[in-house]
Structure 1
């Protein structure tokens, strides 16, 4: 019977996620691990075991496809989605930031980069991100959640 690995504590998991954020920004796994206060070997094992990144030549190529729960502002209203990967979740978050700035400044040009942009969920459905000013004003009038409720990684148990 194979031995089960002990689950990482929440604090250790948070530090590994922090090291991953630093790796994305700086590109150096050893420095990212040191800055996040985890061992370099533990961080490399985390990257390999979770299939988040792979070593190619002398650098790490990040291919993080873990599912994330995000709350998107779509043409169908505010929708809770489970998307695959960092890029899709990042697109939803950048869209929400642009919408927030638009609502504060009334500058519709902030929404232009997202015209026609869509995000796919893990079920294969595509959701068009909302860019119509009047629809966004209506969604804002209904209320909403902060970032903590908008974006989080789905942990499979």
Structure 2
């Protein structure tokens, strides 16, 4: 009942021996081609995700500045700093600070950095554009109106 490999006929031993070197090399070549096609898409997706994350951080910080200004009944200053190769920072007076990816940059259209939120829900209107060091990433814009309404949209120029 217990047959060993030595008792099997020569033809049967040769056909069930496993994969050949050529088969393995072809499989690895196919995998390499698939990875080389997928790699740029993954890079673009990561860049787009960084832009979305920075946009969300900026919008949340603007909303926080607006609310804190109303609650505290005082003017609050909102600033951002791209910090070159370090992590970027967003700060609201001496209340809070937020950070974002060093690969993302924030610019505002009217060069109004810092801006001041008033307790009367007023602020100088401006539009912030968020870009990534990967030029293939889709930029996003955060707009703030004079009445401190905050909106997010895709687009803009880096």
TM range (shorter): under 0.3
Larger Rg: 2
Which has the larger strand fraction? 2
Give the TM-score, by structure 2 length.
0.26
Give the TM-score, by structure 1 length.
0.26
Higher RCO (CA 8 Å, separation ≥ 6 residues): 2
